[in-house]
């Protein structure tokens, strides 16, 4: 398959955090957790730069569905490439689901104990979303 055909049939997906390149893959499609809801990107998509909320990035690798948990992020979409710049990102295979569930329970307890609008309440809600994304990335992989 030529490079030109590869570009037409697949997107280059790059997921980066401040510390490392988490993924660099050629994928037929990617689904991302936008702030208004999940959206899919296929080759040829229009240019777009937007925020992402904590959630799950879904894609196929070698014909197998894969998932990755991300925290807040910014994504740049181009017709041939998707670049996700996230505070943190973990491949579903690398996540300790029991630890993620425990983090989610801790965050829920904090949320319940603090008044809405309190800085700690807001931070606990963000912790809960990150933990939920980690659990979802694993559970869908199984």
The pLDDT tens digits along the chain (142 residues) read 444 344 458 999 999 999 999 999 999 999 999 999 999 999 999 999 999 999 999 999 888 999 999 999 999 999 999 999 999 999 988 999 999 999 999 989 988 988 888 888 888 888 889 899 999 998 865 5
What integer pLDDT is reported at residue 6 of this predicted model? 43
**pLDDT the model gives residue 3:** 44
β pairing state of 81-86 and 11-16:
parallel
| Half-sphere exposure (Cβ direction) of 42: Cα atoms closer than 13 Å | 1
Domains in the chain with CATH codes: 3-92 (2.60.15.10), 96-141 (1.20.5)
Collapse the DSSP code of 72 into the 3-class scheme (helix H, G, I; strand E, B; otherwise coil) and give the result.
coil
Are 105 and 113 spatial neighbours (Cβ–Cβ below 8 Å)? no
| Residue spans of alpha helices (H) in 11-118 | 97-113
Beta strand spans in the chain (E): 11-16, 21-27, 30-34, 37-41, 48-52, 55-61, 64-70, 73-77, 81-86, 89-91
* Cα distance between residue 140 and residue 142, in whole Å: 6
pTM: 0.84
């Amino acid at each position: 398959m030529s490079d030109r055909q590869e570009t037409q049939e697949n997107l280059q997906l790059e997921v980066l955090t401040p510390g490392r390149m988490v993924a660099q893959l050629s994928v037929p499609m990617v689904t991302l957790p936008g702030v208004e809801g999940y959206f899919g990107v296929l080759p040829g998509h229009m240019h777009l730069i937007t925020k992402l909320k904590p959630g799950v990035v879904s894609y196929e690798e070698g014909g197998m569905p894969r998932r990755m948990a991300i925290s807040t992020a910014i994504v740049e979409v181009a017709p041939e490439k998707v670049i996700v710049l996230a505070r943190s990102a973990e491949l579903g295979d690398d996540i300790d689901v029991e630890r993620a569930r425990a983090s989610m329970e801790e965050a829920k307890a904090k949320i319940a104990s603090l008044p809405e609008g309190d800085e700690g309440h807001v931070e606990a809600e963000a912790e809960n979303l990150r933990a939920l994304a980690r659990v979802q990335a694993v559970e869908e992989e199984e």
